Structure 1
Amino acid sequence: MNDVEFTHLPDDAGAGAGHVPDADLTRLTAVTVELTVEVGRTHMSLGETMSLGQGSVVTLDRLADKPVDLLVNGRPIARGEVVVIDEQFGLRITEVMGAERSTAAAPVAFTPEAIPGDPAALDHAA
């Protein structure tokens, strides 16, 4: 049997708490992610779901005047208000999750071309 030697790493190696230089992050700018705007959720029994049809109304757990969530790959990153831009839905970001202060950003417009076959996909064009 062969002996294996491992190099000792500092206690904080790989902790992820350190500052990452911006130059290292620029390599990630071309990575494609899925953006989703979540208006609300609800729970139903399978029977209730199967009885849904054209004209059915599903009540969601969010009030109409509350901000909606912006998700990246299923994880919430921001909140905002739904807007209409040139006959398309968009999202004006009013709060970034984890940020110390709210930030305003350009609206994000929905376009079906952003993710083929997904009409709810988002496009970064304002």
Structure 2
Amino acid sequence: MGGDEGLLDQSEIEQLFGSMGGDAQPDQGAAGAPAPPSDAAPAPNIGQLDVQPFQTPELGSAEQAGGLDDDLSLIADVDLNVRVELGRTRMYIEDVLKLRDGSIVPLEKLAGDPVDVYVNGQLLARGEVLVLNDNFCVRISEIIGRDKPEAGS
């Protein structure tokens, strides 16, 4: 090594680079100018990449994708509480205890007013009461949409 403590002179640096594998040379000059590019490994030619446009597959109908019936079968056994409300009234407990077979309970709604249809406690629709083959039924006349919260509130 050189005469200075722990410092290498230029010839020793070149010798070390030469022993590491040949052509490597230290940067020339104290200003730190970059070494000229070597021709050992050519840069990849980006212009020659094989690029193809993305194509989406055709979407089939519901029958091809398992069908709507398959999707509904997942919820076919779900129990729902459906309630049709003809009207409401307020009564004292004393009056409720007096109710007997044939008692008449006055309601707040008039005959012909739409009835409310509740599903799991949520108002879902309104309709009219009909009699079909000696059975009461409800014809849905209006689906009640849920109020959507406004963007600002």
User: Structure 2 length as normaliser, TM-score?
Assistant: 0.45
Structure 1 residue 46 corresponds to structure 2 residue 89: no
> 1:84: which partner in 2?
131
RMSD: 2.5
Q: Secondary structure at the match of 1:47?
A: helix
SS in 2 for 1:44: coil
SS of the aligned residue for 1:49 comes to helix
User: Do residues 97 (structure 1) and 138 (structure 2) align?
Assistant: no
Q: Whole-Å Cα distance in 1 between the matches of residues 111 and 72 of structure 2?
A: 37
- By percentage of residues, which structure has more helix? 2
Matched residue count: 78
Please give the alpha-carbon distance, in whole angstroms, between the structure 2 residues aligned to 1:75 and 1:34. Answer: 10
Cα displacement (A) at 1:42: 0.7
Cα offsets for 1:11-70 (capped at 9, x unmatched): xxxxxxxxxxxx988744542202111101111111111112223211011111210011
Please tell me whether residue 57 in structure 1 is matched to residue 104 in structure 2: yes
* Runs (5+) with no aligned partner, structure 1: 1-22, 100-126
* 2:18 aligned partner: none
Secondary structure of the residue aligned to 1:48 is helix
Structure exhibiting the larger radius of gyration computed from Cα positions: 2
Alignment of 1:1-126 (within 5 A): 27-98=74-145
Which is bigger in relative contact order (C-alpha 8 A, separation at least 6)? 1
Amino acid across the alignment from 1:71: Y
Distance 2:77 2:101 in 1: 40
The alignment-based identity, stated in percent, is 43
Could you state the TM-score of these two structures normalised by the residue count of structure 1?
Answer: 0.53
User: 2-side partners of 1:44 and 1:97: how far apart?
Assistant: 29
Runs of 4 or more, structure 1, over 2 Å off, are 23-30
What amino acid maps onto 1:32 in structure 2? D
